[in-house]
């Protein structure tokens, strides 16, 4: 079976030779090409080449479109990204300097014509051509209720959400939600077949449950009004078990990417029977200092919990560049070994 077939069969609960193994080795692709992240992300062809090299090297199941923190901000007018040589980039220029800027803030009419979309498009075209028939191609979309974080900063956004004028807050979210709809459509057209839909502002780590029910969920419905095919709900590494039932019930989304802190047995219990899956995610920050033996043990623990009953995928978080290569290899070897179905 191809990785794409393994993923589809896993969602349907059909027999597969092993658990799907997803990994985010996006930044490691830069190292494989002997590039710093700034150069690597400047062209879609570099990211595609890096991703394909990673796929060949580790043999995992998925690739990623050209994406980094701040890419969405650039599509919405951000002029400066602070790249690092050893990690993920920061947004260095907030599009919305104050709440007063919200009124005149505009989203692009067609993001596919935007300068910053071109590298994404180029990357996806290459990936689609090379592995589109056999491998899941992932794209990352930030939900409308979380997107303002990269437009104005987390603190200003929380202040507006919690204590600011609700009409202004919702005006901004409406604009962001229209952008999210465009982005999902553009990713699908360009060849992405797995959309990681990230919404920390729909998790109880960030907000009270009441606000999630009354505010986040309706906006998520708006974000996803064109369909939930291949949508994966993700809390941006915040735990999601407390909202999973709500997401299933209100959005009908049944594919989840929890945080390492989430109880995996509970994550599995919460998905709706039938089509769907949840993921066992390794705490890859610990992988920086763990021994290879510790990594193998953790992969085994996750697989032992997740495999029974199927509908299960093994995955990673952001995979910091500081993780030693031999630790990444140890993780993959263990994942392929312990992820086999008897």
Applying CB under 8 A, which residues contact another protein?
82, 84, 86-88, 90-92, 153-155, 158-159, 161-163, 204-209, 211, 237, 242, 260, 283, 285-286, 288-289, 317-318, 320-322
Quick check: 119 and 43 in contact, CB under 8 A?
yes
Pull the structure tokens for residue 39.
């150069």
Of the two residues 265 and 322, which places its CB atom closer to another protein in the complex? 322
**Minimum Å distance from CB 90 to another protein?**
5
Helix (H, G, I), strand (E, B) or coil at 195: strand
How far from the centroid of its chain's Cα atoms is residue 282's Cα? 15
Residue 185 CB neighbours (<10 A): 14
Q: Give, in order, the Cα–Cα distances in Å from 228 to each of 196, 231, 267.
A: 11, 5, 20
Handedness of CA 292, 87, 282, 12 (dihedral sign): negative
- Return d(Cα 121, Cα 65) in angstroms, integer: 8
Of the two residues 107 and 211, which places its CB atom closer to another protein in the complex? 211
**Minimum Å distance from CB 35 to another protein?**
16
Of the two residues 9 and 242, which places its CB atom closer to another protein in the complex? 242
**Minimum Å distance from CB 320 to another protein?**
4
**Minimum Å distance from CB 324 to another protein?**
13
**Minimum Å distance from CB 208 to another protein?**
6
Quick check: 136 and 61 in contact, CB under 8 A?
yes
């Amino acid at each position: 079976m191809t990785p794409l077939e393994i993923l589809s069969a896993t969602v349907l609960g059909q027999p597969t030779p092993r658990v799907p193994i997803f990994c985010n080795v996006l930044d490691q692709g830069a190292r494989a090409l002997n590039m710093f992240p700034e150069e690597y992300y400047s062209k879609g062809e570099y990211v595609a080449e890096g991703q394909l090299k990673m796929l060949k090297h580790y043999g995992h199941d998925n690739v990623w479109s050209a994406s980094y923190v701040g890419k969405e901000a650039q599509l919405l007018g951000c002029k400066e990204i602070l790249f690092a040589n050893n990690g993920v980039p920061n947004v260095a220029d907030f599009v919305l300097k104050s709440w007063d800027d919200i009124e005149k803030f505009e989203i692009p009419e067609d993001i596919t014509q935007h300068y910053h979309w071109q590298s994404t498009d180029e990357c996806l075209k290459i990936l689609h051509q090379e592995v589109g028939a056999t491998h899941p191609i992932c794209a990352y979309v930030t939900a409308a209720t979380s997107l303002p974080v990269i437009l104005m900063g987390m603190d200003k956004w929380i202040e507006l959400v919690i204590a600011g004028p609700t009409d202004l807050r919702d005006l901004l979210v409406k604009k962001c939600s229209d952008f999210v709809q465009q982005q999902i459509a553009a990713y699908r057209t360009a060849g992405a077949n797995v959309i990681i839909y990230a919404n920390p502002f729909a998790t109880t780590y960030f907000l009270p449950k009441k606000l999630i029910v009354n505010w986040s969920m309706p906006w998520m419905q708006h974000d996803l009004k064109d369909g939930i095919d291949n949508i994966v709900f993700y809390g941006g590494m915040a735990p999601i078990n407390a909202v999973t039932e709500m997401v299933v019930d209100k959005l009908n989304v049944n594919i989840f990417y929890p945080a390492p802190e989430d109880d995996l047995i509970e994550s599995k219990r919460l998905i709706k029977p039938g089509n769907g899956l949840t993921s066992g995610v390794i705490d890859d920050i610990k992988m920086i200092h763990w021994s290879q033996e510790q990594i193998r043990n953790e992969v085994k623990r996750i697989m032992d919990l997740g495999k029974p009953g199927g509908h299960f995928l093994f995955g990673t978080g952001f995979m910091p560049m500081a993780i030693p290569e031999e630790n990444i290899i140890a993780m993959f070897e263990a994942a392929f070994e312990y992820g086999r179905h008897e």
